[in-house]
């Protein structure tokens, strides 16, 4: 595989694994729900516009999703302490538990696909996961042209 093909291959494979895990687990919750809860878990309370930008969706779409998550008790909205005209969203304890359960469910659903890997393959995947995590930190926006 050529160097230029590696990252796109990882991204496409990750999307496929996510779809496979959701299907195999019978998890019908929208992927956007888990994306928002993950963002909130990683960056803490955020404005709707910030979440929309991070999730690459529209603000009205994010507002609808936040409304559904709030009705389900997974997030709560409150006044932004820095600007009383604005609202921030944060995950509730129930939201954090739901996210942890979803991650466990996906891990357990996907585990059989990887049971035959040897220690060297696991070391390779572990290092790849560490590298990807370093380059997906939302606070680390480096200019890729440098």
The rounded distance, in Å, linking the Cα atoms of 131 and 118 is: 20
- pTM for the whole thing? 0.78
Q: pLDDT for 54-100, tens place per residue?
A: 888 899 999 999 999 999 999 999 998 888 888 899 999 999 999 99
Kindly indicate the confidence band of residue 146, based on its pLDDT and cuts at 50, 70 and 90.
very low
Q: pLDDT for 18-50, tens place per residue?
A: 888 888 888 788 888 989 999 999 889 999 999
Of 82, 36, 71, 42, which Cα lies nearest the Cα of 56?
Answer: 36
Judge whether 35 and 99 are in contact, CB under 8 Å: no
Sequence-distant (≥ 6) Cβ neighbours of residue 78 within 8 angstroms: 45, 87, 88, 90
DSSP assignment, residue 112? G
Question: Half-sphere exposure (CA, 13 Å, Cβ side) for 119?
Answer: 0
Whether residue 137 is predicted with pLDDT greater than 80 in this model: the reply is no
Average pLDDT over residues 107-134: 93
């Amino acid at each position: 595989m050529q160097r230029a093909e590696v990252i796109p291959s990882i991204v496409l494979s990750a999307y496929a694994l996510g779809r496979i895990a959701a299907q195999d687990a019978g998890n019908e919750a929208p992927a956007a729900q888990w994306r928002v809860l993950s963002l909130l878990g990683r960056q803490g309370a955020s404005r709707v516009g910030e979440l929309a930008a991070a999730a690459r969706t529209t603000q009205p779409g994010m507002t609808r999703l936040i409304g559904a998550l709030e009705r389900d008790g997974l997030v709560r909205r409150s006044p932004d302490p820095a600007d009383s005209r604005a609202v921030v969203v944060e995950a509730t304890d129930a939201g954090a538990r739901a996210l942890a359960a979803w991650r466990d469910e996906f891990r357990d659903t996907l585990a059989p696909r990887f049971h035959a890997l040897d220690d060297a393959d696991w070391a390779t995947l572990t290092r790849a996961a560490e590298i990807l995590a370093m380059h997906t930190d939302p606070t680390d926006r480096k200019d890729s042209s440098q």
